[in-house]
């Protein structure tokens, strides 16, 4: 089995190569960023992709792509094509926001949510600044915060991804300059209550801390109601920035199109320059725009099917997990995944891969050994069920593997 080099191994490689210290830092995140996609001949339930919607998605994308193929010129700004900025604003205004309104002038379109987080931290935090995030957290946040922005990610104890003001205050230091939240939460699938979001925004304002809220699963809520932080802001809450993406709610993970929403014009000025390094192509922007602005298709076909299929996928996975006696942390209500607590079982990463299953291990998410994220929407329910059965056999120490 191919192994990703360790940090020490990468350091040795760097001495004999052209890597700078920055290059070495970036290389050290290879395992976090890509390992789950590089293990062949195994069922990977470690990548939060939605494989459930292709029958609805692909014909609609094909229609949009025919018109988008003419988009071969630069966008007029690195903030994105005007139509794409308007498209993300329309999606929010028509299908996500309840009382607030997002203006296209407050939106920047970039090459993925990862790029959006990197850009926001680069623009708002100095090198070495601490970025607080509720633990457990999405494993790639560490790379997003540290590899290029050169910040330092610090996990904050939380209740299934939702921190209290007391927990934030206990974690605060003078070096803390940003609070990174995932709402809905990844990996627990928790939907932030509005009061908890307000408390985070209030605490950050008092401490002079920027807030980045990752809302990439805003439409992927199947057992709760979602409140965007944009619905809760006062006029002076310029310290709050939202990240969105076509990867999750529109199941276009390969398109690499994301968005930033902010009321801080100076942040947009920084993105207008630095965004040149991670822009989305004009063709993919045009395709995503077509989907974002098709209100009837979204309302009547896409969103109902998205939510019902995610719910069905989760319920099917939950039944399999219960059958195998594999405990779930919390009550997932959104997203593609759940967090498993397998500390009292015989599971470890090597044993799971030996039976052909790849899950995201806890230490990559700021959680102890024995916790794993399982992405139930990454494959069909039959494949997921078979993979869970293999995990169950490992957990029990079944010799007949």
Burial label, 249 (beta-carbon count in 10 A; 0-12, 13-18, 19+): buried
Residue ranges of alpha helices (H) inside 248-401 are 265-274, 282-292, 295-297, 303-324, 349-354, 381-396
Q: What is the mean pLDDT of residues 204-232?
A: 96
CA distances from 378 to 46, 260, 358 (A): 8, 26, 12
pLDDT digit string, tens, across residues 325-364: 999 999 999 999 999 999 999 999 899 989 999 999 999 9
pLDDT at 182: 98
Largest CA distance in the chain: 62
Domain with CATH 3.40.640.10 in the chain: 55-294
pLDDT at 401: 59
pLDDT at 24: 85
Reported as type and span, the H/E element at residue 131 is: strand 130-135
Contact 88, 244 (CB under 8 A): yes
Per-residue pLDDT at 134 exceeds 50: yes
Per-residue pLDDT at 171 exceeds 50: yes
Domain with CATH 3.90.1150.10 in the chain: 30-54+298-396
State the pTM of this model.
Answer: 0.92
pLDDT at 3: 42
| Whether domain 30-54+298-396 has CATH 3.90.1150.10 | yes
CA distances from 129 to 13, 17, 203, 356 (A): 28, 29, 18, 39
Separation between Cα atoms, residue 222 and residue 226, nearest integer Å: 10
Pick the CATH number of 55-294 from 3.40.50.2300, 3.40.228.10, 3.40.640.10, 3.40.50.2000: 3.40.640.10
Contact 204, 211 (CB under 8 A): yes
Q: What is the mean pLDDT of residues 260-283?
A: 94
pLDDT digit string, tens, across residues 49-106: 999 999 999 999 999 998 888 888 888 899 999 999 999 999 999 999 999 999 999 9
Q: What is the mean pLDDT of the chain?
A: 92
Q: What is the mean pLDDT of residues 23-39?
A: 63
């Amino acid at each position: 089995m191919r192994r990703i080099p360790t940090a020490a191994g990468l350091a040795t490689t760097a001495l004999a190569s052209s890597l700078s210290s920055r290059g070495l830092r970036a290389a050290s995140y290879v395992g976090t960023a890509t390992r789950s996609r590089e293990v062949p001949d195994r069922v990977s339930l470690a990548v939060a992709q939605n494989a459930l919607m292709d029958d609805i998605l692909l014909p609609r994308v094909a229609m949009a792509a025919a018109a988008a193929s003419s988009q071969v010129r630069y966008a007029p700004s690195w903030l994105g094509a005007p139509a794409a900025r308007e498209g993300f604003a329309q999606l929010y205004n028509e299908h996500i926001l309840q009382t607030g309104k997002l203006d296209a002038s407050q939106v920047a379109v970039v090459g993925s949510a990862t790029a959006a987080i990197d850009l926001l931290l680069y623009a708002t935090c100095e090198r070495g600044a601490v970025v607080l995030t509720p633990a457990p957290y999405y494993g790639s946040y560490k790379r997003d915060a540290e590899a290029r922005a050169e910040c330092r990610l610090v996990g904050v104890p939380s209740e299934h991804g939702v921190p209290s003001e007391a927990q934030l205050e206990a974690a605060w230091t003078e070096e803390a300059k940003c609070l990174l939240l995932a709402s809905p939460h990844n990996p627990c699938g928790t939907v932030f209550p509005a009061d908890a979001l307000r408390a985070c925004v209030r605490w950050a304002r008092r401490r002079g801390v920027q807030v980045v809220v990752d809302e990439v699963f805003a439409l992927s809520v199947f057992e709760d109601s979602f409140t965007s932080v944009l619905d809760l802001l006062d006029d002076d809450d310029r310290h709050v920035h939202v990240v969105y993406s076509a990867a999750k709610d529109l199941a276009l993970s390969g398109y690499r199109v994301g968005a930033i929403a902010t009321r801080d014009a100076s942040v947009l000025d920084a993105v207008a320059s630095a965004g040149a390094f991670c822009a989305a192509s004009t063709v993919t922007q045009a395709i995503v725009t077509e989907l974002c602005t098709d209100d009837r298709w979204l309302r009547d076909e896409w969103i109902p099917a998205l939510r019902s299929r995610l719910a069905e996928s989760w319920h099917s996975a939950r039944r399999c997990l219960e059958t195998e006696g594999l405990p779930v942390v919390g009550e997932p209500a959104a997203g593609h995944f759940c967090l498993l607590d397998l500390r009292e079982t015989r599971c470890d990463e090597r044993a799971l891969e030996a039976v052909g299953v790849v899950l995201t291990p806890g230490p990559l998410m700021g959680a102890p050994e024995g916790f794993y994220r399982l992405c139930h929407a990454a494959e069909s329910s039959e494949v997921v069920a078979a993979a869970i059965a293999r995990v169950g056999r490992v957990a029990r120490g079944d010799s007949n593997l």
